[in-house]
Amino acid sequence: MTRTMAGTMAETARALGCAVATRDGVRCTGPSPWTVPGGVRIERPSPDVFRLSRDSPGSRSVYYRVGYGRVEWGEDLGAFLTGEPYQTPDPGQLLALIHGTVPSPDATVLPGVQRLAVGTAVRVDSAGVTVTRQRPELAEPGIGVAEAVGRALDGVKGDYAIAYSGGLASAFLAVSALAAGHRPVLLHADFGGAWGERPPAAPPPVPGLEIRYVPVDPAELFAHEPVSGREPVPPLPDTQVPLRLMDRLSESCGLPVVSGGLLKDLASARLSEADTGYRGWRLLGCEPFHITDTLRGLAEARQLLSRNVVFSPGPGGREATGERLVGKPAPPRPAGAASLPGLTQEGEEALSSSRHGMLARWTDHLDFLDPVSGRVVAGLEERGAGGALLPALDPQVIAAVAALRPARLGRIHRGAFRNHLPLERAVRKRRVYDVCRAPSGHWLRLGAVAHLHRERGRVHAWLERESALADLGVLDVGRVLAVLRDGRELAEHALPMLRLVWVCQWLRGLR
pLDDT at 325: 41
Measured CA to CA, the distance from residue 100 to residue 103 in angstroms comes to 9
**Which band of pLDDT confidence, cut at 50, 70 and 90, is reported for residue 194?**
low
The domain of 23 spans 2-93+106-133
41 located within any domain: yes
Residues 73, 116 contacting (CB under 8 angstroms): yes
Q: Is residue 274 a part of any domain in this protein?
A: no
Which distant-in-sequence residues (6+ apart) come within 8 Å of 335 by Cβ? 100, 238, 382, 439, 440, 441, 442, 444, 445, 495
The confidence band for 442, taking pLDDT boundaries of 50, 70 and 90, is confident
Peptide bond between residue 406 and the one before it cis (omega within 30 degrees of 0): no
Task: Determine contact, residues 237/444, Cβ cutoff 8 Å.
Answer: yes
pLDDT, residue 309, reads 45
| Burial 372-401, CB ≥16 within 10 A → b, else e | bbbbbbbbbbbbbbbbbbbbbbbbbbbbbb
89 lies in some domain: yes
Return phi, psi of residue 284, to 5°: -65, -35
Q: What percent of the chain has pLDDT over 90?
A: 52
Task: Look at residue 199 in the predicted model and tell me its pLDDT.
Answer: 61
Whole-angstrom distance, CA of residue 93 vs CA of residue 298: 44
Report how far apart, in Å, the C-alpha atoms of 346 and of each of 92, 341, 359, 493 are.
9, 14, 20, 21
What is the pLDDT at residue 339? 85
189 pLDDT more than 60: yes
DSSP letters for 422-467: HHHHHHHHTT----B-PPTTHHHHHHHHHHHHHHHHHHHHHHHH--
The pLDDT of residue 243 is 94
Torsion sign (Cα): 503, 490, 385, 364? negative
Q: Is the pLDDT of residue 380 over 80?
A: yes
- Residue 322 clears pLDDT 50, i.e. is over it: no
Q: pTM for the full model?
A: 0.86
Q: Which of 147, 156, 206 is nearest to 179 (CA)?
A: 147
Residue 144 lies in a domain: no
Please check whether residue 203 lies inside any domain of the structure: no
- 35 belongs to a structural domain: yes
Tell whether 33 is covered by a domain.
yes
- Express each pLDDT in 359-376 by its tens digit: 889 999 999 999 889 999
| Contact by Cβ (8 Å): 466, 508 | yes
Who contacts 206 (Cβ-Cβ below 8 Å, separation ≥6)?
164, 171, 174, 175, 178, 186, 430, 432
Task: Give the pLDDT score at 153.
Answer: 96
Q: What was the pLDDT predicted at 273?
A: 75
**For the chain, counts of helices (H) and of strands (E):** 18, 19
In this prediction, residue 287 carries a pLDDT of: 54
**Pairwise pLDDT comparison (210 vs 107), residue with the higher score:** 210
| Mean pLDDT of all residues belonging to the chain | 84
Whether the pLDDT of residue 305 is over 70: the answer is no
CB 432 within 8 Å of CB 209: no
The pLDDT tens digits for 23-80 are 889 999 988 778 899 999 999 999 999 999 999 999 999 999 999 999 999 999 988 8
Average pLDDT of 324-351?
Answer: 77
The pLDDT assigned to 452 comes to 93
Least confident piece of the model among 241-255, 403-417, 442-456: 403-417
d(CA 373, CA 399): 9
Q: 344 and 89 in contact (C-beta within 8 Å)?
A: no
* Residue 15 forms part of a structural domain: yes
Give the Cα separation of 473 and 337 in Å (integer). 23
- Non-local CB neighbours of 300 within 8 Å, separated by 6+ positions: none
Number of structural domains the chain divides into = 1
Q: Cα(274)–Cα(183) distance, rounded to whole angstroms?
A: 36
